[in-house]
Structure 1
Amino acid sequence: MSENIPISSYWKQTTVLFLSAQFISLLGSSIVQHAIIWHIVINTSSGAMVAISTICGFLPQIAISFYAGPWLDRFDKKRVNMMSDGLIALATAMIFISFILGFKSIWLLFLALIFRSLGTGIQTPAVNAMIPLMVPREHLVRVNGLLSSFNALTMLMSPVISASIYATKVSPFQ
């Protein structure tokens, strides 16, 4: 981190709010991602469809993340983070609306998974790039450790939560 970047005297409060919001956002996104995959598993009973959904849900994220870091350096990380989270939310809203209207195509879900994955591939590096701008250097390792722990907790909790929600029949996928 450059010495000329001022860190707010409220960095702890800012960091707690930011990490809390990111945890909620990531958990919600991950729950939706897994719910879509559960829906495909249950309704197709096809290993090929599950493989396609997994590829659509994760490959774009991996591919774009190679370029997102250098690209992010040219733009305001806060705005990029909000825009990428907005893309994920928009794709989720489109799925919800299409299912309510009766359009329940598996291919529509694949398309939504691709857009959600692209948004995540941009959002994750943006979040990682924002942490050093908020946190003093001497606390950076601890805060990055917390972010990693939140990510791991999300990966552990989201499949269970999404399966539970899907099983309760309150899901729009039903």
Structure 2
Amino acid sequence: MNDTATKADPPAHPLAGQVMTGAAMVVQAIADEGTTAIFGYSGGAVLPCYDAVFLYNEAQVKAGKPQLPLIVPANEQAAGFMAAGYSRSTGQVGVAMVTSGPGATNMVTPVRDCMADSIPMVVICGQVARAAIGSDAFQEAPIAAVMGAVAKHVFLVTEPEKLEGTIRAAFELARTGRPGPVVVDIP
């Protein structure tokens, strides 16, 4: 007899079947992972995710549920170290959200620190449009190559339908085995 035939299907997610933007998927997946704060510094390539955090929080307030604070420090490096401190103090995966190019490269030191100290962190990096990757466009940097040298793993999400699964995989990878930082680069 097949074991899967006797198991009940897991309950559907409350948002199952709803159409969501990629940014809304990112924020919902982060919230579903139990994260209670996001640390980040804004910029053009990641603004849709920031807008999605504000919309998520607005819906949470209306539903009488806890918000997901977005804590904005002086720069991206500080956001990375704050996410690392969050992880160290709570035992949860820290989350940092930064923009493309120099915003993402400013995360190299905190990402390397988390790798050296086995601290689970997920870094969401905005990236230039897919067509501009590798073209030396404004604020474009080869984040997969740069972060690949210092992170546990780097994902470059080029297909929107893989976004939610990639975010969930990043959290799982960050906290399992030897914990460490996982970078998700999103055009």
What TM-score, normalized by structure 2, do the two folds share? 0.27
Which structure is richer in relative contact order (CA contacts within 8 A, separation 6 or more)?
Answer: 1
Larger Rg: 1
Give the structure with the higher percent helix: 1
